[in-house]
Amino acid sequence: MKSLVPQSEVYFEMIHEYKQAGKAIAHFNISNLDQARAIVEVAEELGQPVIIGASEGERNYMGVDMIRKIVDELNEEYNVAVFLNADHTYSFNKVVEVVEAGYDSVIVDGAKLPYEENVALVKKCVDYVRNYEAKTGKKVLVEAELGYIGQSSSLNESLPEGVSEENLTTKEQAKDFILRTGIDMFAPAIGNVHGMLINAVEPALHIDRLSDISRAVDVPLVLHGASGNTDEDLIKAIDAGIAIVHINTEIRKAFRDGEKEYMDENPLEVAPYKFGKMGQEEMSKVVRSKMELYSK
């Protein structure tokens, strides 16, 4: 049993360690305790750190402080490092909320804004976080996204509006954005898409573009919207410099499908812990396959 929740200094060190080893840390979102346990149990089995993410919608559903308490308890109960990220946070006020609630990192998402507005929002948030760190001594990692990969983590019939090659991140944009905002981690648009396409794997990642960005900047790179991408592309992305890989839609689908299968076979069952267990089991399979892939 551990007595202390891991601090963001350890978090950042682990990100760099994995990147230097040619590996990536897995990031999975949660909407309930069943999903959180499924993730952390696999992480403990594999002996790998893991990042639990909660989007604004997920935080509204579960409670900002409640998610922090759940992750604290998971760190006490399991012998593995579990970090908490405030995924896709769209306003300054929401950034303040999660930082003051003790989250280890936050993603400031102004990707849909015009470039200068995105820079201004992220810089404002970074300045606030640095002042918070100076006052409290607690480091909080700040990530931001540039280029557009969509916003909905769902099953899609076609590419979300606004996702196009024209909105891919360039190395020049990446360098300027990181320099002007002071972020700790950077999520480029390289052909990745939030959600999953129903009738096909997602568009191929632009690995050459990623390599150019990786050589041009000196902060860890994060791949969002990796649900549905091929194992081959994900391995190439990690080799090209990705340090963290986000998966949400793929595990949501597995969890839902597991619960549905149980309910189809047991239509009179009303005990949530029974069909929830089946959801956990199916989700765990995806979590395990992803974590094993990222650490090869």
**Catalytic (active site) residue 87:** yes
pLDDT in tens, 39-92: 999 999 999 999 999 999 999 999 999 999 999 999 999 999 999 999 999 999
| 3-state SS assignment for residue 278 | helix
Mean pLDDT of 150-162: 48
Q: What is the predicted pLDDT for the residue at 133?
A: 95
DSSP one-letter string for 37-71: HHHHHHHHHHT--EEEEE-HHHHHHH-HHHHHHHH
Q: End-to-end distance of the chain based on CA atoms, in angstroms?
A: 28
| 3-state SS assignment for residue 26 | strand
Can you give the length of the chain in residues? 296
Q: Which of 87, 184, 212, 233 is catalytic?
A: 87
Q: Which of 190, 161, 163, 193 is closest to 174 using CA atoms?
A: 190
- Domain spans of the chain, in order of start: 8-252
0.75 cut: is pTM over it?
yes
Q: 8-252 maps to which CATH number?
A: 3.20.20.70
Query: What average pLDDT does the structure give for the chain?
Result: 89
Q: What is the predicted pLDDT for the residue at 4?
A: 47
Q: What is the predicted pLDDT for the residue at 162?
A: 46
Q: What is the predicted pLDDT for the residue at 97?
A: 98
Ranked by mean pLDDT, which of 5-19, 113-127, 157-171, 181-195 comes out on top? Answer: 113-127
Percentage of the chain lying above the pLDDT 70 cut? 87
Q: What is the predicted pLDDT for the residue at 111?
A: 87
Q: What is the predicted pLDDT for the residue at 200?
A: 54
Q: Which of 24-38, 53-67, 149-163, 221-235 shows the lowest per-residue confidence on average (mean pLDDT)?
A: 149-163
Q: What is the predicted pLDDT for the residue at 3?
A: 42
Residues in a beta bridge with 85: 53, 105
pLDDT in tens, 264-277: 999 999 999 999 99
